[in-house]
Amino acid sequence: MKRIVLTGFRGTGKTEVGKVLAGRLNIPLLDTDAQVEAKTGRSIPSIFHEDGEERFRVMEREVIASLPPDNAVISTGGGAVIDPKNMEHLRRNSVMILLTADIDAIEQRLARSPRPPLTSLPLREEIAELLDRRRQNYYASADFCVDTSETTAQAAAEKVLHFLAFGISTEEQRTTAMQFFKTGRIPPLALKKLEQVLTGDDRDPQTRVMGVAGYPCAHSKSPALFNGLFERYGLNYYYTWFEDPEIDEIMRVARSIDAKGLSVTIPFKQDVMAYVDEVDEHAAQPIGAVNSVVFACGTAIGYNTDWLGVRKPLVHLKGAKAVLLGAGGVAAAAAYALVDLDMDVTILNRTPATAKALADRLGCKSADWDSFDSIKPDLVVNATPLGMEPDTRSPLKEEQIQSNMTIYDLVYTPPETPLIQAARKKGCSTILGTELFIHQAREQFYLNFGIDVPDSVIRELVA
């Protein structure tokens, strides 16, 4: 059977719940802390005291990499999930259970613990700080969540066994969701696979769903990429299209089937913020747009990874004079990235007031669309939908493009837009929208699963 991996902060009951699960399933329990102690012949407090946390993490990584691939319950140390390599090993062909507890319960349990402190703070403050610092990592480790604050190890283990056998969503919820999906433009073979995942007679209740949310979004390459990554890293997930004109309906369906996450695209990057429980600091202000929603432990958190996707290919142009075309959700992320690179940024939009509002928010400049020629930028970033199929017009006239410019078109369908084609004809340096897609998708995958995928792997799957 698949490995069951228990994650969570110290004091959430991983070892005790693991013992019950191992006994019920008649498979061994492997505690990574105990494995480190057995390998070194030293206690964890001794390793921390004499060698420090960094050396302990190296030992922990070695132990996790050597764990058996199946037929075991794995209890991990509280900080194991912060290491992407650990997550890569732990997640492969496993079901991961995040155990949580409130701060009062954790404090009470840790007061009896011999483990050394990880900060100079008093115990309760240390717990609060580390829980906050690791929260995203813990959520990335969660296929299912169990709160152990006011329950016994036996009761918590029963919840785990229930999730393994039945999942979270009900048959009625999954059937209703299939009616929703059938109204979208999911290709027939993909729809058949989704139907098997959600309502098939031999469905695996441990298989979870993710998707791209937009209208339209049938053109998105995300399903092919993410499903390729799931196969490569041994994750029991299926990625599909959530295509509907109403974001509230998409979010309702996603929550009802216990979706793991959503990649949010046009036109919902701003609207979706009203339907999540929390928004990451970058997405909240000054960007004001969300392109990734992570669901974990009953909470939906909105993030923006677009700005990182825009930023990474432009690091070598730090301090350049830039013109940003557009003022929508992806433009806000682009402006944030350009400002972060200390660029002299001017935003142009067909509606000048919209450009000014965004520029005021980001602390840069705006101007009328027709003023492009007088600015003479080093860099032009297209954040309008112009060039995206079926509207394959260029936002600039050919004579406006100069050979000394770098042109970055954030549109990636088609990969070579009319703007990119015209820029190459003029001898410009060009950056394709696939660069944005690759880098923001890498960040999305990390947010959802804690695995740091090399760019080369994503490029291989996107090609």
Known catalytic residues are: 269
Residues in the chain: 463
Q: What is the DSSP string of 170-239?
A: -HHHHHHHHHHHTTS---HHHHHHHHHHHH-TT--TT-EEEEEEESS-TT-SHHHHHHHHHHHHT--EEE
Q: How far apart are the first and last CA of the chain?
A: 35
Of 406, 411, 372, give the one whose Cα is nearest residue 394: 411
Task: State the Cα–Cα distance between residues 55 and 60, nearest whole angstrom.
Answer: 9
DSSP state, residue 400: G
> How many Å apart are CA 396 and CA 57, to the nearest integer?
52
User: Rounded to whole angstroms, how far apart are CA atoms 129 and 120?
Assistant: 11
Q: Give kind and range of the element (H or E) at residue 123.
A: helix 123-140
Q: Collect all residues with Cβ–Cβ distance below 8 Å to 66 and sequence separation of at least 6.
A: none
For residue 209, the cross-strand partners are: 238
How do strand 292-296 and strand 261-264 relate by DSSP bridges? antiparallel
Kindly list the distances between the CA atom of residue 389 and the CA atoms of 7, 52, 241, 386, 415, in Å, as whole numbers in the listed order.
Answer: 44, 55, 18, 8, 10
Going by C-alpha positions, the residue among 162, 118, 210, 202 that lies closest to residue 24 is: 162
How many helices, marked H, and strands, marked E, lie in the chain? 20, 17
Q: Are 378 and 403 in contact (CB under 8 A)?
A: no
- Cα 69 to Cα 71: distance, rounded to the nearest angstrom: 7
Which neighbouring-strand residues pair with 100?
Answer: 147
d(CA 141, CA 86): 10
